[in-house]
Amino acid sequence: MSAKILIIDDEPDVVTYMVAVLKSNGFTPSSTTDPNLGLKMAAEVRPDLICLDIMMPEKSGISIYTKLKKDRLLGSIPVLIVSGVSRQGEFDFRSFVSDTSIPPPEGYLEKPIVIDQYLQLIRDLTSTNLSLKRGKATDA
Amino acid sequence: MPDMSKKNPTSRESWIRNRMFHKVPFNVAVIDRDYNIVDANERFAEHFGEWRGKKCYAAYKKLKEPCAQCNSLKVFEDGKTRVIDEVGIDLHGRQTHYVVHIAPLRRAPDDPIEYVLEMSSEVTETKRWQQEYQILFDRVPCYITVIDENYRIVRANESFRENFGDVIGQNCYKVYKRRNTKCPHCPAARTFKNGGVYNSTQHGIDKKGQDITYRVTTSPLTRGGEKVAHVIEISTDLTDIKKLEQDVIEAERLGAVGQTVAGLAHSIKNILMGLEGGKYIVSVGLQKDDKEMINQGWEMLERNFDKTTTLVKDFLSFSKGRLPELQMVNPNDLAREIVDLYRDTCAQSGIKLTADLVPTIKKAPLDPDGIHTCLTNLVSNAIDACQMGEQKGTEVMIRVREVRGKLVFEVADNGSGIDYEIKQKIFTTFFTTKGGMGTGLGLLTTRKIVQEHGGKIIVESKKGQGARFRMEFPRSRLLTLFENAGNHENKN
- Residues from chain A that touch B276, judged by Cβ atoms under 8 A, are 17, 112-113
**pLDDT (tens digit per residue) in B290-303:** 999 999 999 999 98
**pLDDT (tens digit per residue) in B185-200:** 899 999 999 888 998 8
Residue B439's nearest CA partner among B278, B310, B322 is B310
Please indicate if any CB of chain B lies within 8 Å of the CB of A91.
no
Contact B280 A36 (CB under 8 A): no
* pLDDT of residue B488 exceeding 80: no
Residue B221's nearest CA partner among B211, B210, B233, B209 is B233
Of chain A residues 93-112, which have a CB less than 8 A from chain B?
Answer: 95-96, 110-112
- Return d(Cα A49, Cα A41) in angstroms, integer: 12
Least confident of A120-129, B276-285, B300-309, B314-323: B314-323
Contact B436 A57 (CB under 8 A): yes
Place B445 in a pLDDT band, splitting at 50, 70 and 90: confident
Out of B273, B300, B433, name the one closest to residue A96 (CB).
Answer: B433
Please indicate if any CB of chain B lies within 8 Å of the CB of A61.
yes
* pLDDT of residue B347 exceeding 90: no
Average of per-residue pLDDT across B224-238: 86
**pLDDT (tens digit per residue) in B116-145:** 999 999 888 888 888 888 888 888 888 999
* pLDDT of residue B430 exceeding 50: no
**pLDDT (tens digit per residue) in B146-156:** 999 999 999 99
From B440, which residue of chain A is nearest by alpha-carbon distance? Answer: A55
**pLDDT (tens digit per residue) in B163-186:** 898 889 999 999 999 899 988 889
State how beta strands A49-52 and A79-83 pair: parallel
Average of per-residue pLDDT across B268-290: 91
Least confident of B248-257, B294-303, B330-339: B248-257
Domain annotation for chain A: domains and CATH numbers: 4-139 (3.40.50.2300)
Please indicate if any CB of chain A lies within 8 Å of the CB of B267.
yes
Contact A63 B387 (CB under 8 A): yes
The pLDDT value recorded for residue A28 is: 96
* Dihedrals phi, psi of A62, to nearest 5 degrees: -65, -40
Average of per-residue pLDDT across B361-379: 90
Exposed e or buried b per residue across B389-409, where buried means at least 16 C-beta atoms within 10 angstroms of its C-beta: beeeebbbbbbbbeeeebbbb
Please indicate if any CB of chain B lies within 8 Å of the CB of A39.
no
Residue of A13, A52, A92 to mutate, interface with B, max B Cβ within 10 Å: A13
In order of B16, B32, B52, the CA distances from B36 in angstroms are 26, 5, 9
Q: Is the ipTM of this complex over 0.85?
A: no
The pLDDT value recorded for residue A131 is: 58
* pLDDT of residue B404 exceeding 70: yes
Contact B262 A61 (CB under 8 A): no
With a CB cutoff of 8 Å and minimum separation 6, the contacts of B431 are A90, A95, B259, B422, B425
With a CB cutoff of 8 Å and minimum separation 6, the contacts of B396 are B342, B346, B351, B352, B353, B354, B379, B382, B383, B386, B411, B412, B413
The pLDDT value recorded for residue A140 is: 36
The pLDDT value recorded for residue B442 is: 65
Distance from CA of B300 to the nearest CA of A (A): 6
Please indicate if any CB of chain A lies within 8 Å of the CB of B167.
no
Distance from CA of B349 to the nearest CA of A (A): 9
From A96, which residue of chain B is nearest by alpha-carbon distance? Answer: B433
Distance from CA of A139 to the nearest CA of B (A): 34
- For residue B183, the 8-state DSSP code is P
Least confident of A37-41, B74-78, B137-141: B137-141
Contact A60 B387 (CB under 8 A): yes
The pLDDT value recorded for residue B382 is: 84
- Return d(Cα A17, Cα B405) in angstroms, integer: 53
- Return d(Cα B467, Cα B459) in angstroms, integer: 7
Average of per-residue pLDDT across B26-51: 93
From A112, which residue of chain B is nearest by alpha-carbon distance? Answer: B273
From B422, which residue of chain A is nearest by alpha-carbon distance? Answer: A95
* pLDDT of residue B360 exceeding 60: yes
Inter-residue contact B38 to B115 (CB < 8 Å) = yes
Least confident of B211-225, B236-250, B266-280: B236-250
DSSP B270-329: HHHHHHHHHHHHHHHHHHHT-HHHHHHHHHHHHHHHHHHHHHHHHHHHHHH------EEE
What is the overall mean pLDDT for chain B? 84
Contact B273 A115 (CB under 8 A): no
Inter-residue contact B213 to B201 (CB < 8 Å) = yes
- Residues from chain A that touch B433, judged by Cβ atoms under 8 A, are 54-55, 60-63, 96
* pLDDT of residue B321 exceeding 70: no
The pLDDT value recorded for residue B44 is: 93
For the CA atoms of chain B, what is the radius of gyration? 43
